[in-house]
Structure 1
Amino acid sequence: MKYAIIGAGGTGGILGFYMTKADRDVTLIARGRHLAAMQEKGLAVEKMWDGTTEIIPVKAMDMEHYVEQPDVVLVCVKGYSLEDTIPFIQRVAKPSTIVIPVLNIYGTGAKMQEQLPKLLVTDGCIYVSANIKEPGVLIQHGRILRVVYGVRNMSSQKVNIKRAHEEMLNALKDIKKDFDDSGIDGVLSENIQRDALEKFSYVSPIGAAGLYYHVTAADFQREGKQREAFKTMIREVAALAEAMGVPFERDMVEVNLKILSSLAPEATTSMQRDVMEGKDSEIDGLVYEVVRMGERYHVPVPMYAKVAEKLRENL
């Protein structure tokens, strides 16, 4: 299968690196100095857990010069850049192309599906902690690397989907195999709404609390007010999931603390780094949207409201 990965940072770049290493047909869509460095020197990944660095040649180009027709498009940009990907996908996609958004913000797939009605747009999320260190160089903070993706309402529509789109289902399974063969834990979900909310229950609280307290993973890895705030916001997302009809089936506080424990102590979130560097950030989709969801579903989210109020005042 031919893959186009839009975005070559801590999400897309990491996926492209491991899939290229596994001899999959992958093109990274990037721009600027990062693109130039990859084209000239290849893509380097520094692994913080063992101090090693590996550099491999990768296929990389900008949107303008990409002329292939991919079987799969992995959308790995920040939420505020999502609109820029739609015209590109419309241009390069064939009728059977599958689009998998791998973003932090919940509900992205459904929004993209409205703009790409002739294509299958799944929902998706990723568990990874990585970022661009410098052009052509990514730093990966922990070993966890998992992509979860699936068709919305697949559990209730499974029989009909299988009869009408057997080839599409086979393609989704082939994508999982490509992930797995690349050392990426690929999960083809039958309840992607719940699974995406589970991921959101980590990335949103850790980003919100990290920005609120201006701290690193180390501060959440030990007992204290930062860790308690993180746990409280996880429970508030869990209450939202319950109200939305997709209750979590496991203790997400316990699950997310385990994920947190695997990170390097100095790790921060991409939202923290973007805000501190004065860049656009995903604060609306990761923090303010939770407050709006609380109002929509009549679920109290007092910790999120407190964090949102302070961030609105200070940013």
Structure 2
Amino acid sequence: MKYLIAGTGGVGGSIAAFLSLAGKDVTCIARGEHLTAIREHGLRLHSDLKGEHTLPVKAYTAEEYNGSADVIFVCVKGYSVDSITDLIKRVSHKDTIVIPILNVYGTGPRIQRLVPGVTVLDGCIYIVGFVSGKGEITQMGKIFRLVYGAHKDTVVPRGTLEAVRQDLEESGIKAEISPDINRDTFVKWSFISAMAVTGAYYDVPMGEVQKPGKVRDTFIGLSEESATLGRKLGIEFKENIVEYNLKVIDKLAPESTASMQKDIAKGHESEVQGLLFDMITAAEEQGIDIPTYRMVAEKFRS
């Protein structure tokens, strides 16, 4: 299987590095000084799971790559999805599958509408990974879990899904084929929204969310409100969302922060629209009151 990683940031870079370490055929799409550093020195990985490595991965801009791919992991930020549709169309063949791994909900169907001739699945990931320097990725903690699957109206051979799962597992990534990817991507959206919004609102790392007090209470309030939205949308959760979100947050390294929080702190473009304001819009459309979300949103309205 030929893998193409569209977006070699903390998530995409970690996937690429782990696949490369296992000897899989992987190519990265990157840009700017990050791309230059990867080309000149290799992709540098600092990983709590894998240790220290420098990997000679293939890397291109989206415009210059003219190969093909069997599996495309879309790991760009939500606001950049439209920018990689031409790449997807160009490098896909009839059996290519696209697996978006974004923090925002509804990405698979959104990309499918943009590239109707390609098979687009959906996915989500649990990892703390970030760009720690030019051409350099840091993966923190012991969690690296990737969940993916087809929406109900998307047909994909089970063997293809299993082949991807096997490659990921052989690379040290816990991989799960979801029987209900709409539910699982909503669950991830609920978690990362609460995590990123709480961290950014109070400007604290996750260690503060792990302690009893107002920071943790805000995280709980956000989780409760998104769970109410999910139920109104007809999503059948496997377990209590608040308990699940707390279980995940309590496993994170205390010093970890969400990428949205990092971007806001640096004055960069962030996913605040997809992780905060889209949640509020969706709740309003369903007639749901979400006071915790409305409270924190005041800080981020420009």
Q: CA deviation at 1:137?
A: 1.1
1:48 touches 1:142 (CA, 8 Å); kept in 2?
yes
Instruction: State whether residues 67 and 92 of structure 1, in contact with CA within 8 Å, keep that contact through their aligned partners in structure 2.
Output: yes
Aligned counterparts, 1:186-225, within 5 A: 186-225=175-214
Matched, 1:119 2:108: no
Whichever residue aligns with residue 273 of structure 1, its letter is K
List structure 1 segments (4+ residues) > 6 angstroms apart after TM superposition: none
User: In structure 2, what is the equivalent of residue 282 of structure 1?
Assistant: 271
Letter of the 2:213 partner, please give it: G
Q: In the TM superposition, what whole-angstrom CA distance separates every residue of 1:38-86 from its partner, at most 9, and x where no partner exists?
A: 1121112223589x42222212121222121101111000011111100
1:226 CA drift (Å): 0.5
**Alpha-carbon shift at residue 258 of structure 1 (Å):** 2.3
Maintained 8 Å contact 1:122/1:152: yes
Is 1:273 the equivalent of 2:272? no
Note the 1:161-172 alignment, pairs <5 A.
161=155, 168-172=157-161
How large is the Cα RMSD of the aligned pairs? 1.6
Inter-partner Cα distance in structure 1 for 2:82 and 2:116? 15
One-letter amino acid of the structure 2 residue matched with residue 41 of structure 1 = H
- C-alpha distance in structure 1 between counterparts of 2:13 and 2:37, whole Å: 13
Instruction: Give the Cα separation in 1 of the matches to 2:45 and 2:25.
Output: 19
Partner of 1:37: 37
Q: Which amino acid aligns with 2:300?
A: L
2:12 is matched with which residue?
A: 12
1:97 offset after TM fit, Å?
1.0
Q: Does residue 238 of structure 2 align to residue 239 of structure 1?
A: no
Code of the aligned partner of 2:221: T
Indicate conservation of the 8 Å contact 2:89/2:118, yes or no.
no
Structure-1 residue corresponding to 2:90: 91
Task: Report deviation, 1:128.
Answer: 0.7
Contact 1:48–1:264, Cα closer than 8 Å, also in 2: no
Q: Aligned letter for 1:88?
A: L
Could you say what secondary structure the match of 1:144 adopts? strand
1:49–1:264 contact (8 Å) kept in structure 2 = no
Higher helix proportion: 1
- Tell me if the contact between 2:207 and 2:255 (Cα under 8 Å) persists in the aligned partners: yes
5+ residue gaps, structure 2: none
Q: TM-score, normalised by structure 1?
A: 0.92
1:175 lines up with 2:164 in the alignment: yes
Aligned position for 1:26: 26
2-structure distance, mates of 1:268, 1:170: 37
Q: Give the match for residue 244 of structure 2.
A: 255
Rounded to whole Å, the distance in 2 between the matches of 1:47 and 1:17 is 10
- Amino acid across the alignment from 1:5: I
Contact 1:238 1:247 in 2 (8 A): no
Q: Is 1:145 the equivalent of 2:144?
A: yes
Alignment-derived partner of residue 296 in structure 1: 285
TM-score (norm 2): 0.96
Q: Distance in 2 between matches of 1:234 and 1:122?
A: 26
Please give the alpha-carbon distance, in whole angstroms, between the structure 2 residues aligned to 1:138 and 1:258: 26
| Cα distance in structure 2, aligned partners of 1:48 and 1:118 | 39
- Whole-angstrom distance in 1 between the partners of 2:75 and 2:17: 13
Name the CA distance, whole Å, in 1 between partners of 2:49 and 2:105.
29
The question of whether the paired residues in 2 share the 8 Å contact of 1:79 and 1:104 is answered with: yes
Indicate the percent of aligned positions where both proteins have the same amino acid. Answer: 40
Question: Per the alignment, in what secondary structure is the counterpart of residue 145 of structure 1?
Answer: strand
5+ residue gaps in structure 1?
A: none
The CA distance in 1 between the partners of 2:49 and 2:160, in whole Å, is: 34
